[in-house]
Amino acid sequence: MGGKYVITRRVLMGAGVKATFLLPLSLYAGLLEAATLSPKTPPRALPRRLVMLDPGHGGKDPGAIGVSGTYEKHVALATAFELKRQLESSGRYQVLLTRSRDVFIPLEHRVELADRHRAMLFVSMHADALSDHRVRGASVYTFAPHASDALTRELAQRENSADRYGGLQGHFSPEVAEILASLIQRETRIGSIEMARSVVDAFSVNTIPLLTHPTRHAGFVVLKAADIPSVLVEMGFMSNPRDEADLRRPQHRMRVAAAMKRAVDTYFALADRGFHSIG
């Protein structure tokens, strides 16, 4: 039986080298068995990406309070739990939350948590209020020293003012904000922008209402991790009765979480290819 051979082909990943081997069948079967049965060679686990979700506000800081009394902090936490469940059930992600209870955590501590755990992506989840109650729809924010528009400036002021509850200095002078921004690596900025785009695309695919010009930027304290791509998602506005009613419904939060999971999948697929689409 020694005359039977099996042709195997091995592709050396990265180097693009292909090699063909001629192996005696008995040896090949032995190798297969060794590869599949030996306790010394367990199947290589796929690397799990660590995603840090940041449900906004909490504890003494309720966030925005909706027209019918819904607290933003509760909507943010409920949606974060749902997104964590969906991401983890795919088996591809490890998900940590900056808070998993109704507790107050200063903005700076949220960023520190992501840094300490070496998160690969940071997603802050909110549903704020605007003075114009007609404005509705989801939007996504990345860090920049200057707000892209008046609406975004209003939001960033509200979000950053969460630190007034904790007595931390949450406000930076324009100079300091500029320095902080320059510390952010180009890669991180590109990653953040790609994630913001992915979220907007996924919301649009899942027919979740979006704000006009849904991708914006401002000096959100919670987005200033120097080397972790970070976005802040406003899943809708508590100040708009329709958005508030939507976000109170578990089915709607499930759809929002599904869109965000789709965005995370897209983000990592693009990251694996090195974000070549961006100049």
Tokens 């933003």 belong to which residue? 72
Contact letters (x/-) for Zn ion, 180-219, by CB under 5 A?
----------------------------------------
> Is residue 128 at the binding interface for Zn ion, with CB under 5 A as the rule?
yes
Helices (H), 184-240: 186-205
Phi/psi class of residue 94: alpha, beta or left (left: φ > 0; alpha: ψ in -120 to 50)? beta
At 34, which helix (H) or strand (E)? Answer: helix 25-37
**Between residues 128 and 244, which has the closer beta carbon with respect to Zn ion?**
128
> Is residue 163 at the binding interface for Zn ion, with CB under 5 A as the rule?
no
| Residue of the chain from 56, 58, 170, 214 that contacts Zn ion (CB under 5 A) | 56
> Is residue 73 at the binding interface for Zn ion, with CB under 5 A as the rule?
no
Q: Give the DSSP per-residue string, 97-159.
A: ES-SSS----HHHHHHHHHHTT-SEEEEEE----S-TT--SEEEEEE-SS-SSHHHHHHHHHH
| Phi (first) and psi of residue 154, to 5 degrees | -60, -45
Q: From 54-62, 136-144, 211-219, 261-269, give the range in contact with Zn ion by CB under 5 A.
A: 54-62
**Between residues 225 and 270, which has the closer beta carbon with respect to Zn ion?**
225
Nearest-CB residue to Zn ion? 126
Q: How far apart are CA 276 and CA 154, in angstroms?
A: 34
> Is residue 63 at the binding interface for Zn ion, with CB under 5 A as the rule?
yes
Q: How far apart are CA 198 and CA 201, in angstroms?
A: 5
> Is residue 66 at the binding interface for Zn ion, with CB under 5 A as the rule?
no
Applying CB under 5 A, what is the total number of residues that bind Zn ion? 4
Q: From 114-122, 123-131, 191-199, 255-263, give the range in contact with Zn ion by CB under 5 A.
A: 123-131
| Residue of the chain from 126, 216, 217, 262 that contacts Zn ion (CB under 5 A) | 126
> Is residue 106 at the binding interface for Zn ion, with CB under 5 A as the rule?
no
Residues lying near Zn ion in the complex (CB under 5 A) are found at 56, 63, 126, 128
